[in-house]
Homo-oligomer: A and B are copies of this chain.
Amino acid sequence: MRGDEDTDVGRLIIKGPDQPGVVAAVSGALSRAGANIVSLDQFSSDPEGGRFFQRTEFHLPNLQVRRAELEDVIAEEVGAKFGLHCTMLEVKRRKRTAIMVSKLDHCLMDLLWRHRRGELAIDVTMVISNHPDLSEEVRRFGIPFFHVPVAKGAKPEAEREQMKLLKGNVDLVVLARYMQILSGDFLEELAVPIINIHHSFLPAFMGASPYQRAKERGVKLIGATAHYVTEDLDEGPIIEQDVIRVSHAMSTKALQRFGADVERQVLARAVGWHAEDRVLRDGNSTVVF
């Protein structure tokens, strides 16, 4: 959220079983390495036998050169000793990001536009769509657009083509209103986080025509949820949510328009927080620092 990047700023993400002495070990190791802790967020799901989460941002002169050495120290003094999972990241290495989209452009355009303004600490390296409609829009931003049609019954072939484009080339995939379901095999093989956005209501209206059905029930709030994609469709860990107030005087079309506004705000926040390593998965939940 602060986002003022620096070449010598690193992040250390730690997850695992909570136990006495972890925080001291982490900060001790960083301190002895000459790193100055810029910010530290820590959360324990339960004082007794809970799960532990820590995000530390630190400044270390000449980070790029000294990183490997620091990683070894952390792996030994924290990872091995406490049985924790430790990940080190350099702030200047932005996550290479692919955006997948179908025909609706509001989320895509908002991401590209924020990206160009420097609001999102990611590198958008490609846009993949199952429709050719948005190619011109995307290329205007200087970003490659790949059209991978998904013919009926030929999703495996399409996923193979998508995989060729993505595998090894991206650290993050954002589904900006991509209307195809990705297979479990695809998710497993790609093995990078995938963020999805979808409309949300109180209560939920599953299935077709949710806006129409929300209107028929007199819903007063229209919302959106950004979450990580898992095999259970739309059931993955939630990153961010928001709502907007609507009234009976609005048509279903107007509700959709308001919904689109919430969707792009929520997705942009979720991608921005993920880009800054603020979102730590905790089973099917998230810790957002």
- B248 lies within 8 A of A286 (CB): yes
Interface residue A140 (Cβ < 8 Å from any Cβ of B): yes
A288 CB contact (under 8 Å) in B105, B216, B248, B265: B248
- Please classify how large the interface on chain A is, using the bins under 10, 10 to 19, 20 to 34, 35 or more: 35 or more
> Helix, strand, loop or mixed for chain A's interface?
mixed
Question: Does A243 lie at the interface of the complex (its beta carbon under 8 Å from any beta carbon of B)?
Answer: yes
Count of chain copies:
4
Per-position contact with B for A246-270: 1 when CB-CB < 8 Å, else 0?
0111110110010001000100000
Within 8 Å by CB of A225, from B202, B241, B265, lies B202
Is A217 an interface residue, CB under 8 A from the partner?
Answer: yes
Most buried by B among A21, A23, A204, A216: A23
Stretch at the interface among A35-43, A125-133, A169-177, A179-187: A35-43
- 20 CB contacts below 8 A, A to B, read A1-B247, A2-B249, A9-B47, A21-B31, A23-B37, A27-B27, A28-B28, A38-B47, A42-B42, A119-B257, A140-B140, A200-B203, A203-B234, A216-B283, A217-B284, A219-B238, A243-B243, A248-B282, A248-B288, A261-B265
